[in-house]
Amino acid sequence: MERITTPEILQEKIECCTKAFDEKIKGLNGKRAVLVCGGTGCIANNSVAVLEELTKQIKEKGLEDKVTINHVGCFGFCSQGPFVKIFPEDTLYKMVKVADVTKIVDNDLIGGKIVEELLYVDPQTKERVVRQDDINFYKKQVRISLHGCSLINPDFLEEALGYDGFKALKKVLTTMTPQQVIDEVLASGLRGRGGAGFPTGRKWQFAANVKSDQKYIVCNGDEGDPGAFMDRSILEGNPFEVIEGMMIGGYAFGATEGYFYVRAEYPIAVHRLKNAIEDMRKVGLLGKNILGTDFSFDVHVREGAGAFVCGEETALLNSIEGKRGMPRPRPPFPAIKGLWGKPTCVNNVETLAQIPFILRIGAAKFAELGTQGSKGTKVFALGGKINNVGLVEVPMGTTLRTLIYDIGGGIPGNKKFKAIQTGGPSGGCLTEEDLDTPIDYDTLVARGSMMGSGGAIVMDEDNCMVDVAHFYMDFIVAESCGKCSPCRIGTKRLFEMLTDITHGKGTEKTLEDMKTLAQVIQHGSLCALGQTAANPILSTLNKFPEEYHAHVVDKKCPAHVCKDLMEFHIIPEKCMGCTLCSRSCPVSCIKASTTPITVRPIPNKFVHVIDVEKCVKCGTCIATCRFGAIEKR
């Protein structure tokens, strides 16, 4: 592509690329377009091999003049991938394997007949669904942060230009002053999507008000919450959109350099981001005097080592500077004194991804979505005990019931919903009584949880909430940077108390001590990691006091999860004496008794029993028994 040195050239490129993109997707060029999911989840599930086989067969069968093929970003519906989508019919095939490629090529691309067996089946109606937008998982979604994901090839600048890319940047650089950009973002009501929900426009205004010879804007892509994969998927699916948002922010408050801080565990996101930056440099969209204006801007990538604490903005800045990732005391805040002592705005990936939409469509249109205090949309990584695992973008104000049952498809096996953990280790759990709560920053906090970066882990009746708190505290202890004593020592003590409780050694005094210590950690820790570390404990204590009571008083785990508080027993009335359990037991703790089988007369067959003293509670016997004769007590 030739260099883009003026707004006029950019406009020509946008028009040309838009026409080419529309022709390909809508089939106006007489060809059909085949899109293959290239998100991390689908790649892990062999989508690259599917792509290669499709490419091979299209070539071998002489379809190159009739079919184009593209590797695109995440479709979002992770539990149903890998996906293959065909335009202009908008046919979506799910869970495609290499062995399925011949059917798609011969039946659909050549024969024009849909491969019914690869279509999504609606679990309620049992009907096959052809189009993506007709699947319940997608119906109530509004894609703003995920704009272009699953449609464009993230490795090609031309496709980004063909799908609204850099229209907002052109508008900003040619028709708006920096203050007008900030005012537009303020009017949109956009709040930071990284967790705290601080108004983005206000943060930019703080930095704009500071006089400095150098300013920076930093994209926080250090997504460390267990089960969260929003930022990774956005960067994998449309890195150009996030870079454009960063550039607009830089123009707004005077930054000339941007840094992406992305954890090294995201190699695909890092690769596509670096590729996008290089392509933009080659054509002049990054560098000196962009589009012939006075605005100069360049971008750098820093790969994090995977420390959860580096999601805290000041620890992140230390890491970029080559220091140990530990938080700084505040004030001064980064907008006043940040990277290398210069004014710096740190924005989340999802926040920057929403900026082009706001400037392209207008603040008023963006503000139509959401609630009074939380505008726009939010991306959630929906996981855990849920049928439809995946990436979901919904308007703020969508209820948890809609998220879990309409979009998420409910709980597997029709089990009873128990809780949903939002906000990761820093958040809390919400229960059945919260299902009709609108999702926004303020209501979630009022209910004892928080938005966080967008992880949403669903739990059912089989989950032990004490064990859940124990899991998150184990994570926090490992991720504490150790700089301040309340967090370094306090979280370790909380973890030890929870361990005692799950082992049957806890008392009611242990619960009181946990509450007291939790308050000390909240008020005494330096950064948000420590200040919110006890949230999973306090939340589960508040919502499920009876489970803690059962653990410390009755010495029982109601969900039969905590091994030291349960026993395995064989139900005599169901035992068939088949010996499968005893033969598979790794510690040989299952023996035949002298009690004859009562289910039906079987000569020389006796009910088996488990020696609970020798049993290691591995669960092998339950998995082996064909008659459901073994239970946890």
- Given a cut of 80, whether residue 475 has pLDDT beyond it is yes
**CA angle at 39 for the pair 37 and 41, rounded to the nearest 5°:** 105
Question: Under CATH, which number does the domain 567-632 receive?
Answer: 3.30.70.20
Nearest alpha-carbon partner for 149 in 507, 390, 445, 361: 390
The yes-or-no verdict on residue 162 having pLDDT over 90 is yes
Those residues whose C-beta lies under 8 Å from the C-beta of residue 322, and which sit 6 or more positions away, are none
Q: Tell me what the pLDDT averaged over the chain comes to.
A: 94
Task: Kindly state the tokens that stand for 573.
Answer: 């009335």
Q: What percent of the chain has pLDDT over 90?
A: 88
Q: Which class does domain 157-367 fall in?
A: alpha beta
Asked whether this chain's domains 31-139 and 465-554 adopt the same fold, the reply is no
Rounded Cα distance between 182 and 200, Å, is 9
The pLDDT of residue 601 is above 80 = no
Task: Provide the token pair at 327.
Answer: 């938080």
pLDDT, tens digit (0-9, with 9 covering 90-100), for 499-532? 999 999 999 999 999 999 999 999 999 998 899 9
603 has pLDDT over 90? no
* CATH number corresponding to 465-554: 1.20.1440.230
The number of helix segments (H) and strand segments (E) in the chain equals 25, 19
Grouping H, G, I as helix, E, B as strand and the rest as coil, residue 413 is helix
What one-letter code names the amino acid at 37?
Answer: C
| Strand pairing category for 590-596 and 606-610 | antiparallel
For residue 129, pLDDT over 80 is answered with: yes
Using pLDDT thresholds of 50, 70 and 90, give the confidence band for residue 79.
very high
For residue 395, what are the contacts with CB-CB under 8 A and spacing of at least 6? 142, 369, 370, 376, 377
pLDDT of residue 194: 82
Residue 416 is given by DSSP the state P
Residue 339: both structure tokens together:
């990277």
CATH superfamily of 31-139: Glutaredoxin (3.40.30.10)
| Burial class of 413 by CB neighbour count within 10 A (0 to 12, 13 to 18, 19+) | exposed
**pTM for the complete prediction?**
0.94
The candidate with the shortest Cα–Cα distance to 37, out of 95, 87, 88, is: 95
Rounded Cα distance, 252 and 173, in Å: 10
> Can you give the residue ranges of every domain in the chain?
31-139, 157-367, 377-460, 465-554, 567-632
What are the pLDDT digits (tens) for 546-579?
999 999 999 999 999 999 999 999 999 899 999 9
pLDDT band at 11 (very low <50, low <70, confident <90, very high): very high
pLDDT of residue 1: 80
The helix (H) or strand (E) run that includes residue 344 is strand 344-348
The pLDDT, as a whole number, for residue 431 is 94
Closest CA to 234 of 222, 242, 244: 242
Which whole number is the average pLDDT over 612-622? 93
Cα angle: 520, vertex 470, 305; to 5 degrees: 85
Structure tokens, 631: 């239970």
The band of 215, judged by pLDDT with boundaries at 50, 70 and 90, is very high
- Please, which pLDDT band fits residue 333 given cuts at 50, 70 and 90? very high
Q: Tell me which of 59-63, 253-257, 529-533 is least confident.
A: 529-533
Cβ contacts of 241 within 8 Å, gap of 6 or more: 147, 148, 160, 165, 234, 353, 356
Task: Give the CA distances from residue 98 to residues 46, 92, 129, in Å, rounded to whole numbers and listed in that order.
Answer: 8, 16, 22
Averaged pLDDT, 601-607: 80
DSSP string for residues in 558-585 = TTS-SGGG--EEE-TTT-----HHHHH-
Q: Using pLDDT thresholds of 50, 70 and 90, give the confidence band for residue 196.
A: confident
pLDDT tier at 453, thresholds 50, 70, 90: confident
pLDDT at 204: 98
How high is the pLDDT of residue 491?
95
Termini Cα distance of the chain: 68
Architecture of domain 377-460: Roll (3.10)
Q: What is the pLDDT of residue 420?
A: 95
